[in-house]
């Protein structure tokens, strides 16, 4: 492993800790000596990384630091391309545009050889072309999830029965043929999954739901037996 790769790995490792982590732990993870680890931290600090701490106390990276140019392996680049192409094909208009913009930003800061790998990627998301007509704005639903807003919806089941629901949406899943939002349903007093093409109308109630979406996601995973 080159020194530049090691420095990037150290940054990624530090990003995974919210509290100070010991130099010994970092050195063991990178398979380097403590002396080398301390030199690498000094190098990153000299390049502008806001790493706080000292030997014997531990180190923590303040959030928000980026080290250009971005460095990815070829496998990582192909994963990015595939994911962005899927989002561009299956997301709503705003999400699709954001995927294209993000991929362009990544390409703009990659070294020339890696940018060529990005441009020449032969991985494609081959999907069913038919997509359901959706009465609601998915960008608005994503925004409500992000801001933890309660929604009132009119929902029609597969049997054609309509009902009004108050929900706390916390997740949006993209499948080949449908999209599904998972939410707490006030009517059922339980978690429910709603196909977005069956949501006939959607308005914010003006209230923020009382639980954090991360908490609801964790509770839903536990109920469904899904590993975290």
- State the pLDDT at residue 217: 92
Give me the helices (H) in the chain, please: 3-15, 23-30, 34-46, 74-90, 93-109, 112-119, 138-147, 213-224
Q: What is the structure's pLDDT at 188?
A: 93
Average pLDDT over residues 17-24: 89
- In terms of average pLDDT, the best of 68-77, 100-109, 113-122, 219-228 is 219-228
pLDDT, residue 140, reads 93
Mean local confidence (pLDDT), 111-120: 74
Kindly report the average pLDDT of the chain as a whole number: 85
Cβ–Cβ contacts within 10 Å for residue 97, how many? Answer: 13
Is 24's pLDDT higher than 80? yes
User: With b meaning 16 or more CB within 10 Å and e meaning fewer, what string describes 107-136?
Assistant: beebeeebbebbeebeeeeeeeeeeeebeb
Q: Are residues 181 and 141 in contact, defined by beta-carbon separation less than 8 angstroms? A: yes
This prediction has a pTM of 0.63
pLDDT of residue 68: 54
Residue 56, phi-psi category: left (phi > 0), alpha (psi -120 to 50), beta (remainder) = left
Q: For residues 71 and 189, which has the higher predicted lDDT (pLDDT)?
A: 189
Residue 127, pLDDT above cutoff 70: no
- The secondary structure element, H or E, covering residue 128 is none
Q: Please compute the mean of the pLDDT values over residues 69-85 and round it to a whole number.
A: 78
Cα–Cα distance, 149 to 145 (Å, whole number): 6
Nearest C-alpha neighbor of 213 from the set 136, 143, 137, 138: 143
Q: What pLDDT shows up at residue 70?
A: 58
Q: Kindly report the backbone phi and psi dihedral angles of residue 117, in degrees, each rounded to the nearest multiple of 5, phi listed first.
A: -60, -40
Task: Identify the pLDDT of residue 57.
Answer: 85
- Secondary structure (DSSP) of 57-92: TEEEEPTT---SSP---HHHHHHHHHHHHHHHHHS-
pLDDT value of residue 221: 92
Structure tokens at 193: 């999954």
Kindly report, residue by residue over 31-57, the tens digit of the pLDDT. Answer: 999 999 999 999 888 877 888 988 888
């Amino acid at each position: 492993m080159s020194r530049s790769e090691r420095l990037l790995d150290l940054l990624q490792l530090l990003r995974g800790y919210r509290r100070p982590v010991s130099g010994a732990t970092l050195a063991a993870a990178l398979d380097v000596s403590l002396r080398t680890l301390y030199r690498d931290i000094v190098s990153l600090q000299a390049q502008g990384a806001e790493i706080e701490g000292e030997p014997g106390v531990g180190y923590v990276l303040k959030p928000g630091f980026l080290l250009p140019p971005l460095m990815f392996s070829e496998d990582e680049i192909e994963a990015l391309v595939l994911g962005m192409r899927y989002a561009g094909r299956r997301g709503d208009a705003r999400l699709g545009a954001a995927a294209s913009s993000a991929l362009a930003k990544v390409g703009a800061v990659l070294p020339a050889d890696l940018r060529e790998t990005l441009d020449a990627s032969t991985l494609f998301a081959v999907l069913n072309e038919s997509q359901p007509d959706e009465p609601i704005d998915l960008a608005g639903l994503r925004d409500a999830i992000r801001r933890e807003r309660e929604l009132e919806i009119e929902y029609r089941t597969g049997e054609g029965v309509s009902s009004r629901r108050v929900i706390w949406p916390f997740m949006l899943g993209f499948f080949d043929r449908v999209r599904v939002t998972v939410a707490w349903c006030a009517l059922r007093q339980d978690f429910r999954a709603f196909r977005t093409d069956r949501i006939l109308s959607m308005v914010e109630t003006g209230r923020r739901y009382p639980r954090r979406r991360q908490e609801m996601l964790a509770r839903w995973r536990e109920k469904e037996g899904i590993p975290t």
